[in-house]
Amino acid sequence: MKRNKSNKIFGALLPILTMVLLVSCTDVESIDINRPGLEEQSPELYAKYLENLNTYKRSDDHKVAYAWFDNSVKAPYSRAHHISDIPDSLDVVSMMYPADLAEFELTDMATVRRKGTKVVYTISFDRIQKEYTDKVKEGVETGTFSVYLKVEVDRLISYESSFDGIIAEYKGKNPIYMSAADKEEAKANQDIFWGAVMAWKQANTNKLLTFQGYPENLIGQSVLSECRHIILATDDVDAVEELSVVARKAMLSAGTPTDRFVVAVSTISMDAADTKTGFYEKARAIKEAAYWITEPSADYTRAGIAIYNIQNDYYNADAIYPCVKEAINIMNPSPRK
C-alpha cells in the first residue's frame, strides 16, 4: 500500500514534469540566449509542480537518491557547474568543497531547496587521517593524530551554517583484527570524531545527519540511530551481488538500524579507457544498483542509492544526467494504468 501511495504522488508529477522537460531539455551555454523556463512561462503551474515535488520527497515510502557534486569551479563557464541543473528528483546533494562558497553557489543552493533537495557536505574521518599521515611523512606535522583530528573536525563543522546537514564518513578498520592497544586507540579517535559530530547534531536537531562507511567498524558507538540513512561503502565493488554481502556485514554490528541502508555507486569515468569505474563487469553500475534497490529483502530495507561523480553524467548529446534520472525512475516507477 505504501508503494502505491508513493507511485500516485510521483505519478501526479508527470504531466507537469513533462512540460518542465520540454522547456529545459536543451542545455544552452551561450550567454546571449535566455530561454524562458516553465517558472517564467507559467508561474502557477510551476508552483503546483514544486508543491507536488516537495510532497513526494517528504514521503517516507519513496527510494532516496543522494549525490556528490564537484563544486571546485568557482567561476563557472558551463551549466554543468551549477547544482541548479541537477535532476529535480535528487533528495540530497553533497558539495565536495564546502568552504568559500561563491555567490552563484549560494543562489543555486536556494534554487534546489525550493525543489525539496537538501544541500549537505561530507566530513570524512578517513580523509583527515590520510592528510595527517601525508603531512607527517612530509615533515610538516609533528603533533599527535588525536589533536590534529579534533582541530580538523571542528574546522569542518564550522562550515555547517550554509548547509542543511552533514554526511559523516567513517570506514576505519575492523576491530576484530586489532590488538587491545590498537582497539583502545581506535576507540579514542572515534570518540573524538563522533563526539564533535553528535554535539553538532544535538545543537541542530532540524538538520540532516547521514552515516557513510562501515558500521561494523564502529566500537561502542550509538550514533547510527541518530542518522537518517546509512550509506554503505559499496562504491568500489565490481558486481551487483556484492551489495548484499556488504549489507550483511553491516548487520554484524550490534545495534545497527537495518531500515535505512543506502548503497554507494559511481557514474562512469570521463576517461574512455577506464572500463571499471561505474561498471559491474560490462553493465552500468548505477542502473544495476537501482534495480537491486527495488528487490525485496526480508531483514533489512533497501532505502536508495548514493551517486559519486554525478557531474560525469551531465555531458550527453540527447539530455543532461540521463543515467541518474533513469536510476531514480527505476527505483520509483510511475504507476501503470
Q: Taking the model in full, what pTM does it have?
A: 0.88
pLDDT at 28 over 80: no
pLDDT at 337 over 50: no
Q: For the range 271-276, what are the long-range contacts, defined as Cβ-Cβ under 8 Å and sequence gap of 24 or more?
A: 276/238
| pLDDT of res. 30 | 31
| pLDDT of res. 335 | 58
Are 323 and 286 a contacting pair, CB within 8 Å? yes
- Over residues 159-216, the pLDDT tens digits come to 999 999 999 999 999 999 999 999 999 999 999 999 999 999 999 999 999 999 999 9
| pLDDT of res. 248 | 95
- Over residues 71-84, the pLDDT tens digits come to 999 999 999 999 99
The DSSP bridge pattern shows strands 279-280 and 261-266 to be unpaired
| pLDDT of res. 36 | 52
- Over residues 50-68, the pLDDT tens digits come to 999 999 999 888 999 999 9
Mean pLDDT of 310-334: 91
pLDDT, averaged across the chain: 89
| pLDDT of res. 100 | 94
| pLDDT of res. 172 | 95
Sign of CA dihedral 162, 228, 267, 115: negative
pLDDT at 13 over 80: no
At residue 121, what are phi and psi to the nearest 5 degrees?
A: -145, 165
| pLDDT of res. 5 | 44
Q: How confident is the model at residue 315 (pLDDT cuts 50, 70, 90)?
A: confident
Distance CA 91, CA 117 (A): 5
pLDDT at 18 over 70: no
| pLDDT of res. 4 | 46
Q: How confident is the model at residue 242 (pLDDT cuts 50, 70, 90)?
A: very high
3-state helix, strand, coil in the chain (%, to 5): 45, 15, 40
Residue type at position 239: A
pLDDT at 21 over 70: no
- Over residues 250-295, the pLDDT tens digits come to 998 888 999 999 999 999 998 989 989 999 999 999 999 999 999 9
What H or E segment, with its residue span, contains residue 219?
Answer: none
Sign of CA dihedral 76, 82, 85, 87: positive
- Over residues 90-137, the pLDDT tens digits come to 999 999 999 999 999 999 999 999 999 999 999 999 999 999 999 999
| pLDDT of res. 254 | 80
